[in-house]
Amino acid sequence: MRIAVFVMEYPPAIVGGLGTYAEYITKEFVALGRDVSVYTLNPGNLKTRETSGGVEIHRPILVEASNVFTLFVADDLKRWGTNIKFFTDIFAYNMLTAAEMINVVIKQEKYDYAVVSINDWLSSIAGVICKNELKTPVIFHVHSTEWGRSGGEGSATVNHLESEMAEKADGIITVSHAMKEDLAKHGWPESKIHVVWNGVDPEKYNPQKAKSEDVQRLRQRYGIAKDETMILFLGRLT
């Protein structure tokens, strides 16, 4: 079984949780005997194609289009100001990776993907292109939403990309039942939505590996007494 994963960040170019998730889940796919291709953004200093840890990684080099984009984009994007470069980089990453996968990897090299995984709005343009060009099932993995990240409506453009990808996807995965309920409340097709919790590497956070002197130093730093229970929490508070 061959899986194509579109994700904006991937090691060594990790920005946050999305890249960490992608790193671990692709390793697990390989351990299960799956062939995995990752299509990701190239900050400009990485190989355009390589294999690492059994994962084939595609990173087309971006082109600069910020001053071109502002000539015709919607007013919503113009309000992004200097962040328009971020959006144009995302747009270029999506177009370049989708074109490489469809025109080179599939049509020329004859790769046969069983499923395409699209992670968040950052790869949704590539996801829509895959639905236009291929018969391969496309799964939209929603780690967060624009209205959730912004505490309101956020960018109309990003909201549109999210809803369009949700509509076209063959299935939607999200990370909790609370997220599933929220997506359905915003009009997403509930019958498509499946909950798959994020995993964790228990050995990476094994408390037995912590040095006792480090634990005591941490307790002293935060004023936690020896007889008080200390809980380690990993993640954002949203």
pLDDT at 128: 97
pLDDT of residue 81: 64
The structural domains of the chain, with segments of one domain joined by +, span: 2-199
Terminal Cα-to-Cα distance of the chain (whole angstroms): 35
pLDDT tens digits, the chain, 238 residues: what are they?
A: 999 999 999 999 988 889 999 999 999 999 999 999 999 999 889 999 999 999 999 999 998 877 776 666 667 666 666 677 888 899 999 999 999 999 999 999 999 999 999 999 999 999 999 999 999 999 999 999 999 888 887 888 899 999 999 999 999 999 999 999 999 999 999 999 999 998 888 888 888 898 999 989 999 999 999 899 988 787 766 5
pTM: 0.87
AA letter at 112: D
Q: Which residue has the tokens 């994007």?
A: 77
Decide: 93 and 62 in contact? Cβ < 8 Å.
yes
pLDDT at 156: 86
The yes or no reply on domain 2-199 and CATH 3.40.50.2000 is yes
Q: What pLDDT does residue 59 have? A: 97
| Cα–Cα distance for residue pair 169/65, rounded to 1 Å | 28
Task: Find, among 108, 107, 122, 110, the residue nearest to 6 by Cα.
Answer: 122
Question: What DSSP state is assigned to residue 82?
Answer: G
pLDDT of residue 64: 83
At residue 200, the pLDDT reads 82
**Token couple for 188:** 């997403």
The per-residue pLDDT for 70 is 64
Bond preceding residue 12 cis, omega within 30 of 0: yes
